[in-house]
Amino acid sequence: MRYAETGFNLEVDLTRGNIERVATDPELTELYLGGLGTNAKILWDRVPPEVEPFSPENLLIFGTGLLVGTPVIGCNRTVVSTISPQTGLMAFSMMGGFFAPELKYAGYDTLIIRGQSPDLVYLWIHDDKVEIRDASHLKGKGSLEAAEMIRTELDDPKAQIASIGMAGENRVWFASIEQGRSSASRGGIGAVMGDKGLKAIAVRGTNDVHVARPPELIEMCNEVMRYIKHRNENPIPGVMPILAGLGSPQEMAIHDEKWHTENFAWGNSRTRRKGFWTEEVEDNWTETMRGMRTRLVSCHNCPMKCGATISVPGLPTYMMKCFSKLTYTMAAMSDLEFGLRIAQSATEYGVDAFSAPQVMAFALELYEAGILTDDDFPGMPSDNEERFFWLLDRIVRREGIGDLLANGTHWAAEQIGNGAQEYAHNNIKKHEQLPLKLGMLNPIYFLMYATGEKINITQIEGNYPQAPFATREEREEFCKDWVQVPDEKFKEYFLNWELRGEYSIPHYPGIEATCEIVNWQEQMHYIDDATGMCAGLSSFPLKPPYHIHNLPTFISNATGMELDEEGLTQIAKRIRNLVRAFNIRRGMSKEDEKPPADHWKRRFPELEEELLTEYYRFKGWNEQGIPTSESLHELALDYVADDFLERGILQDEG
C-alpha cells in the first residue's frame, strides 16, 4: 500500500479526448516527494525547450503536495505548473482552498493535461468516473459564475472547481485560475488553460488517504496546534503570532495601511505618498472594510484565516486574499471601496492581482506622457476610477489597446516603443513584481529577487528577520528558543547584525551569512511546495510550527519513508536545481538575474555583482549561474548534466 499518496496520476489528452489512470513510480516520491518536485520532473521529461507555451505539447499540471489529504495541518496546496507565456520559463503557482485534497481523495496525486480541445470543455472527475464535458454554454462566463453553474449542473454542491474567466479564454498572458477562496495567478497559467480549450476542472473525491503511522502523526499534529495556541497566548516581542504572520490574515483583519499605501508605487510617475494616510482616511477605510468584509475564511485543514468574503453592494460575493485588497486601490490612487469593487470584476474575469493593476496604471502613465494618445483610447471615460474598469474590460477582451496590454508591461512596452520601456520598470524575468518601493538595497532581498525563479518575492522570503533588532539584549532574547534554525550559526549571524545609519553600507551580516540566509529561506519554500504545506505555517513566518527539524518526521510518519534532516535538505536542493536547469535549458541566463533597476533608492553595483558571484559559488553553480556537472551528480541529476553536455550548455571537464 502507498501511504500519503494514491500512487496514480490522471492523464487527459484534450486533442484526442483520451483519459488514462497511470500508476506512478514510488522511487520518484523518494527523490522528489510530490507537488512541485514531481511537476518539475514531468516537465523536464516531457516538455523539451522547443515547445511554446501555446502548443498542444505544453503540459498543464495540477500537482498535489505529498502530505495533502493527510491529517497534517495546513497541507492543502495545489501546485499548477506549465510554461509561462510571459517569461517563457516554468510557471509554478500555488493555490490553497480545497482542490488538491479533493483531487487526492478522488484517487490522483497529479492531474496532467495535454493537447488542445477544438471546442470549449470542462473536466469532471468523480473518483474513477472522469468525463470531458461540453462547456459551450459557459463561454464568456466569469470564473465564479461558471463554477456555480457547473455545481448546479452536476447537482453536487461539494464539487471543488478550478476555472478561468474571460481573460483565460482570450489568452491574456497574466490570466489566473480561480478556485473559490484561492487562485493560481502568477505566470499566466490561466492563459495556457484557455489555450487548451479547458474552461474548468470539477473534482469530487470520496476515497481515503492512508498514512503509515497514524498515532504518531496525529500526536505531532496536536503538538503543532498546541504550539500555535501557545504562541498566540504568549507572543514573542517583535514577532507576529503564527495566525497573523503571513500577511493575508492581517490584511483582511487590520485597517491601518499607512506603510503599504505610502510605499506602493506603480511606474515611474507613481511616487511615495507621504502624508496620505490620515486619521480621516483610516476611519473611511475601516468603515469600508467592516461593511464589506462578511467573514474571514480558511483553507482545508488550516487554522489560519487568510481570506475574506467580500460583499460589495450590488455585486455577487467573492473571496479576497492577501494584498489584492490594496493592489487595485493603489494603482488608481483611489480609495478602498473602489479597490474592493474592481477586484470583484477582476476575479470574475480571472486576472492576476499583482500584474493587472500595474498594466492598467502603466497604460495611463503612457497616456499622460503622450506616448499613447486619444487615438489609442477611443471612448475611455474621463473619471479616474471608471478608466480602470474600462481598461480592464478592454484587456480581458483583447480589444484595441487592450490587445497589447494583455501581454503584460514588458511585452506591451516592446511593441509600443517610443520610450514605453522606461515605464515597464517593475519586472523580473519579464514578469511584474510586488510593487513596493524601498530605500536602501538589502543584500538578502537582492539575492532573493535576482535568483528566485518563483517570480514572486512573497514565495521566497521568510524564517529570518527582515531587519536586526535594536539592541543585543533583544536579539539574545529572540535567539533563546529559536529551535527552527538549521544550524546554530544563524543565531550568531543575527546576534551580530546591528542597525546602521541610513546612508552607510547596507544592512546585512556579511556575504557568507547572506548566502546562507537566502538559501535557508528558499529551501523551506521548496519543501513546502513539494509537501503541499501552507507557507504561512512553515517557510514564511518567524519561528513557525513546521521547520527543518520536524518536517522529516512528519513525512516519515505519513509515508513510511525513513527521512532525516540531511535527506530532506538534499531533496529540496534536487528540486531547486531541477527547476533552475529546466529554465536554463529554455534560455534563462545570468543577464536575467536582476531586480528592477529602481526598486531601491540606493544601489551598490559592485556589491551586487559580488553577492551574485558568491551565491552562485555557494549553490554549486558556475559563474553563469548554471549548476555544474559535479553538483548535478551529487544530487542524482546526472540526466540533467548529460543533457547540458549534449546541448553545449556545459562543457566536458574531463
Spatial separation of the C-alpha atoms in residues 113 and 57, rounded to whole Å: 10
Measured between alpha carbons, how far is 320 from 318 in angstroms, rounded to an integer? 7
Predicted pLDDT of residue 45: 98
Check pLDDT > 80 for residue 502. Answer: no
Confidence of residue 157 (pLDDT cuts 50, 70, 90): very high
Q: What's the CA gap between 334 and 361, in Å, rounded?
A: 12
Residue 403 has a pLDDT of 98
pLDDT for residue 254 = 60
Greatest mean pLDDT among 210-214, 240-244, 433-437, 605-609 lies in 210-214
Q: How far apart are CA 470 and CA 478, in angstroms?
A: 12
pLDDT in tens, 105-129: 999 999 999 999 999 999 999 999 9
Q: For residues 124 and 222, is the Cβ–Cβ distance under 8 A?
A: no
pLDDT at 98 over 90: yes
Give 225-251 pLDDT, tens digit per residue.
Answer: 999 999 888 888 777 777 665 445 455
DSSP 83: E
Instruction: Provide the β-strand partners of residue 203.
Output: 125, 160
The pLDDT of residue 271 is: 53
Instruction: Round to the nearest angstrom and report the end-to-end CA distance of the chain.
Output: 44
Rounded Cα distance, 526 and 27, in Å: 19
Q: CB within 8 A of 297, min separation 6: which ones?
A: 181, 305, 306, 307, 308, 309, 319
Q: What is the mean pLDDT of residues 195-224?
A: 98
Q: In terms of Cα–Cα distance, which of 102, 84, 295 is closest to 205?
A: 102
Residue 601 CA: distances (Å) to CA of 34, 436, 502: 40, 12, 11
Q: Is the pLDDT of residue 305 over 90?
A: no
pLDDT digits (tens, 9 = 90+) for 401-416: 999 999 999 999 999 9
With 0-12 / 13-18 / 19 or more C-beta atoms within 10 angstroms meaning exposed / middle / buried, residue 156 is: middle
Q: How many CB atoms lie within 10 A of CB 296?
A: 15
3-state secondary structure of 329: helix
Task: Return the CATH number of the domain spanning residue range 8-204.
Answer: 3.60.9.10
Same fold, 8-204 and 438-647: no
- Whole-angstrom distance, CA of residue 93 vs CA of residue 182: 11
The per-residue pLDDT for 438 is 67
* Centroid of chain to Cα 224: 24
- Tell me which range, 263-267, 305-309, 455-459, is most confidently predicted by mean pLDDT: 305-309
Highest-confidence segment of 84-98, 285-299, 306-320: 84-98
Is residue 261 over pLDDT 80? Answer: no
Residue 247 confidence (pLDDT): 47
CATH 1.10.8.60 fits 248-416, yes or no: no
Containing H/E element for 89?
none
Question: Residue 577: is its pLDDT beyond 70?
Answer: yes
Across 106-215, the runs of DSSP E, i.e. the strands, are 110-114, 121-126, 129-134, 160-163, 177-179, 182-184, 198-204
- The mean pLDDT value for 562-569 works out to 97
- Express each pLDDT in 447-477 by its tens digit: 998 999 988 776 788 899 888 888 899 999 9
Which is it for strands 90-95 and 160-163: parallel, antiparallel or unpaired?
unpaired
Which of 8-12, 130-134, 359-363, 495-499 has the lowest average pLDDT? 495-499
**Cα separation of 263 and 248, whole Å?**
18
> Residue 603's pLDDT is what?
83
Residues near 304 by Cβ (< 8 Å), separated by ≥ 6? 74, 242, 243, 246, 248, 249, 298, 534, 536, 537
| Residue 133 predicted with pLDDT over 80 | yes
Q: What does the alpha-carbon distance between residue 553 and residue 534 come to, in Å, rounded to a whole number? A: 17
Summary mean pLDDT of the chain: 91
Tell whether the torsion through CA atoms of 165, 330, 94 and 554 is positive or negative: negative
The stretch 590-601 carries a mean pLDDT of: 84
pLDDT (0 to 100) of residue 245: 52
Q: Where does 438-647 sit in CATH, by number?
A: 1.10.599.10
Extract the runs of DSSP E, i.e. beta strands, from 84-169.
90-95, 110-114, 121-126, 129-134, 160-163
At position 69, the amino acid (one-letter code) is: G
Residue 158 and residue 617: Cα distance in Å, rounded?
Answer: 50
From the centroid of its chain, how far is CA 11?
24
Mean pLDDT (whole number) for 587-608: 87
pLDDT at 269: 41
> How many other β-carbons are positioned within 10 Å of the β-carbon of residue 224?
20
pLDDT of residue 322: 63
Mean predicted confidence (pLDDT) in 599-624: 91
Q: What is the pLDDT of residue 504?
A: 41
- Taking residue 651's Cβ as centre, other Cβ atoms within 10 Å add up to 10
All structural domains of the chain with their residue ranges: 8-204, 248-416, 438-647
Cell of 175: 490570466
Kind and range of the H or E element at 363? helix 355-368
pLDDT recorded at residue 138: 98
Q: Which residues contact 93 (CB under 8 A, 6 or more apart)?
A: 79, 80, 177, 184, 185, 186, 187, 189
Supply the pLDDT for residue 316: 86
Residue-level pLDDT at 306:
79
Q: Given pLDDT bands bounded at 50, 70 and 90, which one contains residue 498?
A: confident
DSSP state of 47: -
Mean pLDDT along residues 356-369: 94
Q: Is residue 359 classed exposed, middle or buried when 0-12, 13-18 and 19+ CB atoms within 10 A define those classes? A: buried
Instruction: Say if residues 18 and 49 touch (Cβ distance below 8 Å).
Output: no
What pLDDT score does 454 carry?
84
Residues 6+ apart with CB under 8 A from 403: none
Q: What mean pLDDT is predicted for residues 67-85?
A: 97
% of residues, the chain, pLDDT over 90: 72
Residue 443, pLDDT above cutoff 90: no
Is residue 308 predicted with pLDDT exceeding 60?
yes
Letter for the amino acid at 587?
A: G
From CA 419, how far away is CA 369, in angstroms rounded?
10
Closest to 206 measured CA to CA, from 72, 64, 107, 65 = 107
Cα within 13 Å of Cα(467), Cβ side: 11
Residue 39 parent element (H or E): helix 36-46
Asked if the model's pLDDT at residue 437 lies above 80, the reply is no
Residue 464 · residue 525 · CB < 8 Å: no
C-alpha to C-alpha distance for 276 and 270, rounded to whole angstroms? 13
